[in-house]
Structure 1
Amino acid sequence: MKKFLCCLGSLLLVATLLSGCSTKEDAVKIGVSFGVGSASRWPLEQGYMEERAKELGDEIEVRLNTTDTPKTQQEDCFEMIDSGIDVLILTPRDVNNTEEILAYAKKKNVKVVNYARVVLGDNVDLFVGYDSGRIGQSMGQYLSEKVYEGDYIILRGDSGDYNATLLYEGAMRYIDSIRGSINIIMDEAVPGWSADTAKEMVKNAVAQNGNRVNAILAPNDKLAGACADALTELGITTPVVITGMDAELDAVKRIVDGKQDMTIYMDLKDLARKAVEEADKMGRNQKVDVNADFDNQGESTVASYLINGQVVTKQNIDKILIDKGYYTKEEVYGN
């Protein structure tokens, strides 16, 4: 009898140990929906997320939806939820129109990590993104200190993107302080973050101002590139200070060439990997990392994990981007 109980106890111990092992059945199933534009950051973040999920032993499906065709972002989300995912990582195309996606996720007991572009008004389980207000302040401070008089253009991102609002409000904290010495010839949102639209807006505003402009607040590198192209097409050769964000390679090259003054570098690899790590914890009912409470204009604040960015200029490109391995010298400066 004792021998039988001993064997039974051993078998139970082995079964317990085996049940704690990482198996395919134990993998957290993660769905990722990017409702985004054509910025080069998104395919990079897709790769970072897939890499981290593989390291964690999780299953992941990423849908990068840039045009809402042939399927809408909502259709993408519904299909992934119906496929049995445990957690949805969501970057919404329209931050004001996520109610049906979130309601369906809740109905199916799928937790939601809101990523990069904050959902407005509705409850999510966690927001992982950058501190847009502080980044906007960095851009506004840089611009106002470099150009404290003259003609300004202020470009906002898409009016439906709350991050664009936060960036704008942050920047204007500094630009408003010099309003008495500057002339703002345009202060407009850019529908859909469209570079083509931004270029035409800038060309028209500058032309109507006698081809004069001294500073342009561009909220990302795609729009900064559009601004630089607009000035080239207008034949403007005098220096114009242009901001940007995302540290895209083309923007860094423009900074080297003197066609853009600064950009903001955010460690997108860390951010993307962090989103997957927190989704993994949620899928296992573990405590997530929170360093802030974010006001998304809902009934209560949203638990958040936020990162800040670094200002990149011609003087610190090597230190911030090359020494850290983000780009090589050959990529930035050529052979």
Structure 2
Amino acid sequence: MTALTRRIVVSTALLSLAAGLTAGCGKTGDHDKGSDGSGGSGGGKSKVIGLLLPENATTRYEKFDRPRITAKVKELCPDCTVDYANAAGQPATQAQQISSMIAKGVKVLILDAADAKAVKTSVEAAVDKGIKVVAYDRLAQGPVSAYVSYDNEKVGELQGQALLDAMGAKAVPSAKIVMIDGDPADPNAADFKKGAHKILDGRVTVAFEQSGLWKDTVANQKMTAAITLLGAHSIAGVYSANDSMAGGIATALKGQNINPPLTGQDAELAALQRILSGTQSSTVYKPASPETDPAAEIAVALLNGKPFTDVATTTVTSSTGQSVPAELLPAVPVTKDTIKDTVMKDQAYTVAQLCTAQFAALCKQAGIQ
């Protein structure tokens, strides 16, 4: 080997070493970003927890779930990184995101499934690579290690009872109501529907029931179809499985100059303003921290190989018969009379956010100022 050749070999080795050192010096927290929604690269030996959320049409995921889970993980594990991605409602996109996180060497996944059934193969692939999966908010099929959510059948019961309460004396067996359910791909939607029917069946007549797919536009179309079929003034109440769809429904009702009681869920800002103005009668408030914190706690425990039975205090059975350690949380019904002592008391929104000029007088009437 000539002297020149030796110099070239040594220089190449030094450049490779420098590149390797530079690649290992990424700043903690850089993973929770990325224009393609896939986050940063993980690295097999890093303390990386993947966070996969299902969609961004519902405001809660980006406004509450993502930042609170990320903050709690960092609180419990300062040297951990959260690698984030949102499926934007596309199961195929989420499958690709899971594959990407497997390739990056993520150790634990907090997974809110875009499609609980379709994701099963991806969950199995992750677990086969030694990744622990925490099913968040929706019980994904496959060998998940834990599940954190609200008691979703109870949520449906709260919605159904809130609708009956708002209907008052009109809540009689002959009264016709419309039900706009969530996306069948979301197992929670079935639980909400089951809980609502448990309360409503026999006490009112469900005259029209279809899925709104968690989309305000679809819900608006379905409500318009219900009005055409039943007649505007024959509708005594409307069950909407969440607030986003309730927005589309409220628009359809307003177009017909009718205003029957209308339920919702998630305590979205726009829904609270509709409740103040009387175009939505109720929502269901699911405080973020009681759900996000246990998910983060379980994920960090799994990352460190520690037990989490003090967090997951019960079990649920998946649709495939698997017994899964779980934490199921209670939700809170919200009406105009209780906004102040529930959502606003928890500072989910500021008074300035809720009580804009259009709603200032209504806020004052509700004791919010």
Q: Place the TM-score, normalised by the shorter chain, in its bin.
A: 0.7 to 0.9
Question: Which of 143, 156, 162 in structure 1 is aligned with 2:163?
Answer: 143
TM-score (structure 1 length as normaliser): 0.86
For the residues of structure 2 that align with 1:251 and 1:42, how far apart are their CA atoms?
A: 16
For the residues of structure 1 that align with 2:139 and 2:108, how far apart are their CA atoms?
A: 17
Equivalent residue, structure 1, for 2:195: 170
Contact 1:123 1:298 in 2 (8 A): no
Residue 235 (1) aligns with residue 276 (2): no
TM-score (structure 2 length as normaliser): 0.78
CA deviations 1:81-127 (Å, max 9, x no partner) are 2111110111111111122211211221000001111114x221000
For the residues of structure 1 that align with 2:352 and 2:96, how far apart are their CA atoms?
A: 42
Contact 1:98 1:119 in 2 (8 A): yes
In structure 2, list runs of 5 or more residues that go unmatched.
Answer: 1-27, 29-43, 358-369
For the residues of structure 2 that align with 1:223 and 1:67, how far apart are their CA atoms?
A: 15
Contact 2:135 2:146 in 1 (8 A): yes
Contact 1:53 1:276 in 2 (8 A): yes
For the residues of structure 2 that align with 1:183 and 1:68, how far apart are their CA atoms?
A: 34
Equivalent residue, structure 1, for 2:184: 159
Alignment of 1:199-238 (within 5 A): 199-212=220-233, 213-236=235-258
Alignment of 1:1-335 (within 5 A): 28-44=47-63, 45-55=65-75, 56-57=77-78, 58-68=80-90, 72-120=93-141, 122-147=142-167, 148-149=171-172, 150-178=175-203, 182-190=204-212, 192-212=213-233, 213-236=235-258, 239-288=259-308, 289-335=311-357
For the residues of structure 2 that align with 1:88 and 1:328, how far apart are their CA atoms?
A: 32
For the residues of structure 1 that align with 2:317 and 2:104, how far apart are their CA atoms?
A: 32
Contact 1:28 1:284 in 2 (8 A): no
For the residues of structure 2 that align with 1:240 and 1:104, how far apart are their CA atoms?
A: 48
RMSD: 1.9
**Structure 1 SS opposite 2:149:** strand
* Aligned-pair CA distance for 1:329: 2.2
* Aligned-pair CA distance for 1:159: 1.3
Q: Which amino acid aligns with 2:159?
A: M
Q: Which amino acid aligns with 2:253?
A: L
**Structure 2 SS opposite 1:197:** helix
* Aligned-pair CA distance for 1:37: 4.6
For the residues of structure 1 that align with 2:119 and 2:149, how far apart are their CA atoms?
A: 17
The answer to which structure, 1 or 2, has the higher relative contact order (CA under 8 A, 6+ apart) is 1
For this pair of structures, how many residues does the alignment match? Answer: 304
Contact 1:28 1:280 in 2 (8 A): no
* Aligned-pair CA distance for 1:323: 2.2
CA deviations 1:291-328 (Å, max 9, x no partner) are 22112222232111111110111001111122221122
In structure 1, list runs of 5 or more residues that go unmatched.
Answer: 1-23
For the residues of structure 1 that align with 2:109 and 2:291, how far apart are their CA atoms?
A: 16
Identity of counterpart residues, as a percentage?
A: 24
For the residues of structure 2 that align with 1:42 and 1:87, how far apart are their CA atoms?
A: 19
* Aligned-pair CA distance for 1:48: 1.1
